[in-house]
Amino acid sequence: MYSEKVMDHFQNPRNMGEIEDASGVGTVGNAKCGDIMRIFLDIDEDGIIREARFKTFGCGAAVATSSMATELVKGKTVQEALQVTNKAVMEALDGLPPAKVHCSLLAEEAIHAALWDYAQKQGIAIQGLEKPKADIHDEDSE
């Protein structure tokens, strides 16, 4: 039911861990399954993502999509990273079962949240980037 790529990224996740003093950190969660994903980005003065790492407390597909998403955004500009949608992550993983599509959505949301955090810290606006819907802490307090 899972592609070889999903199994590979689940069993050998790339970029797992944290970045100290990250340029941007985004934490998102899915209220239904309770899974949480945090993505750290290190962005240089030219707006290039030098490093991306993740911490995910979630299902195997969430781990695999975090792993692939961090791989995909590395070396990209902030604008290019916005194009790393959940669809792009799923395609790179050769697909996900329908019940697991929301896991890849978490990856897209976590990247956007980390970029939003970066923009806030820099005092800049990133074209096409909207404020993340729900901060994980808001969901917790519901």
What is the contact surface with ligand FES in residues (CB under 6 A)?
30, 33, 35, 58-59, 61-62, 100, 102-103, 106
The question of whether 103 is a catalytic residue gets the answer: yes
The question of whether 59 is a catalytic residue gets the answer: no
CA atoms within 13 A on the CB side of 58: 29
- In terms of CB distance, is 35 or 42 closer to ligand FES? 35
Backbone angles phi, psi at 75, to 5 degrees: 85, -5
- In terms of CB distance, is 49 or 61 closer to ligand FES? 61
- In terms of CB distance, is 63 or 72 closer to ligand FES? 63
CB 90 → ligand FES: shortest distance, Å? 13
Q: Are 64 and 48 in contact (CB under 8 A)?
A: no
Name the residue number minimizing CB distance to ligand FES: 33
Q: Please, is 17 exposed, middle or buried when counting C-beta atoms within 10 Å of its C-beta (0-12, 13-18, 19+)?
A: exposed
